Amino acid sequence: MTMTTTRLEHDLLGDREVPAEAYYGVHTLRAQENFQISGITISTMPRLIEALAAVKAAAAKANLELGLLPQQQADAIVAACAEIRNGALHDQFVVDVVQGGAGTSTNMNANEVVCNRALELMGHQRGEYQYLHPNEHVNMAQSTNDVYPTAIRIAACFAIRNLLGAMTHLRNAFAAKAEEFSGLLKIGRTQLQDAVPMTLGQEFSTYAVMLEEDMMRLEKAEKLMYVINLGATAIGTGITAHPEYASRSLRHLREITGLDLSTAPNLIEATQDCGDFVELSGVLKRIAVQLSKICNDLRLLSSGPRAGFGEINLPAMQAGSSIMPGKVNPVIPEVVNQVAFEVFGNDVTINFAAEGGQMQLNAFEPIIAKSLQRSLGLLATGCITLADRCVSGITANEERLRQNVESSISLVTALNPIIGYKLATQIATDAFVQGRNVRDIVLERQLMSEQDLDDALSAELLTQPRAYTKK
């Protein structure tokens, strides 16, 4: 007795042999053959798969309530979707994430996997579509054009929650270092030139604040993802769907996902408009810009360690050179810089894809979905990596900080309100030309008493506003 290795399935173009063990069907098979583009399949996007399964379950429940889908079929679909949402059968989502057809292949892939698993739960064989059909039953009252963008939005919400958690973790790491370094005076810098003093704690606190501000913007952008077009079907008119389908499927989808979803007020507009994705991507780009700037600062502050700034020490993570013994590179900030660069590129891709839509549908949502999920995932792992493998292990080079402050000509700025700009400029010039420090010159010229000078140059007064009285 020979084991059957394939099963015969039929579509618009004819009959095809599908692997017997596969949960996907003929539509997925053709898409797999057509779109060998990136080498990255839907299986690498678990949040999108979970979102698709949530949509299919919500649709089945709504159609059951409306008397359009028999109980046994609805129950099997819902059960299959629950398994997929819990991680089962993700390897069966085999279509390339970059695909033509506005996401139709992804929707078909989901329909077939859900259907064939549901058939098994009903006691049938995969491919026995006379009992349950991928399009007629699993896709009832749906179109790729409302299923796919709805799933993209839900998947984005899941990924945003993950990113917010990662950003909170990194923010807390910077805040802890800000507290640890609160008493360490250092020279601030503008245009890479010595500026006025600050504390190392103040420097690190700014990084925490930058992240907090971006988290607020990300939370605002997340709310845009809550507005879905499920029930729009093909172009937003709701053709083939029951008049109550949109409201009922929304209610079930809210219950399944736990998200505060709502139906777009104009489904025709919502089906063609990708502006919300552009706005979310813009926020992700801003986060990437800030992270990259922070990493640039960390690399500069730790540079040297002897011939550079050398004010902080990054944890040594690996040998830095194949030829220079003892060299250690800032590899963690460097990799997060590269995360940011890819996010920048993804933002450009999303902008072009959104602009490229025509009439009632944007055909380029697959690349938007890929780019959004990629950016969200990269930023989250970048934040965690930066926090755990770099920031938490940073130490201060206190001696270098002290030397830089004492030798900096910029200290004269603190004396401006006391001795005047003209005299302060002379002192600064002399200090530079003679290679001396500001303190010694001021005392030598008896411009201030030692006590007054100590007071004016104290760490507390150098790093915050003060009311001055000229002598």
The pLDDT tens digits of the residues spanning 71-100 come to 999 999 999 999 999 999 999 999 999 999
pLDDT of residue 411 exceeding 70, the answer is no
Q: Report the Cα–Cα distance between both ends of the chain, in Å, rounded.
A: 107
Average pLDDT, the chain: 91
408-462 carries CATH number 3.40.50.620? no
pLDDT of residue 2 exceeding 60, the answer is no
pLDDT grade for 1, boundaries at 50, 70 and 90: very low
Q: Specify which of 79-88, 304-313, 314-323 reaches the highest per-range mean pLDDT.
A: 79-88
Which pLDDT score, from 0 to 100, does residue 178 have? 97
Which pLDDT score, from 0 to 100, does residue 467 have? 61
Structure tokens at 448: 């201030």
Common-topology check for domains 146-398 and 408-462 = no
How many Å apart are CA 306 and CA 432, to the nearest integer?
22
Whether omega for the bond prior to residue 305 falls within 30 degrees of 0, making it cis, is yes
Residue at 278: amino acid letter: V
Structure tokens at 259: 């998200």
The question of whether 322 is a catalytic residue gets the answer: no
395-396 and 312-313 beta bridge pairing: antiparallel
Which pLDDT score, from 0 to 100, does residue 417 have? 73
How many beta carbons lie within 10 A of that of residue 167, not counting itself? Answer: 23
pLDDT grade for 458, boundaries at 50, 70 and 90: low
CB 384 within 8 A of CB 169: yes
CB 256 within 8 A of CB 249: no
Burial of 362 (0-12, 13-18, 19+ CB in 10 A): buried
How many Å apart are CA 104 and CA 98, to the nearest integer?
12
- The CATH number of the structural domain formed by 6-140 is 1.10.275.10
Question: What pTM does this model have?
Answer: 0.90
- The CATH number of the structural domain formed by 146-398 is 1.20.200.10
Q: Which of 321, 322, 407, 449 is catalytic?
A: 321
Averaged pLDDT, 231-242: 93
The pLDDT tens digits of the residues spanning 176-201 come to 999 999 989 999 999 988 888 899 99
Proportion of the chain above pLDDT 90, given as a percent: 74
Averaged pLDDT, 398-414: 79
CB 224 within 8 A of CB 279: yes
The pLDDT tens digits of the residues spanning 255-293 come to 999 999 999 999 999 999 999 999 999 999 999 999 999
CA distances from 183 to 72, 180, 311, 389, 459 (A): 69, 8, 14, 24, 8
The pLDDT tens digits of the residues spanning 10-27 come to 988 999 999 999 999 999
pLDDT of residue 135 exceeding 90, the answer is yes
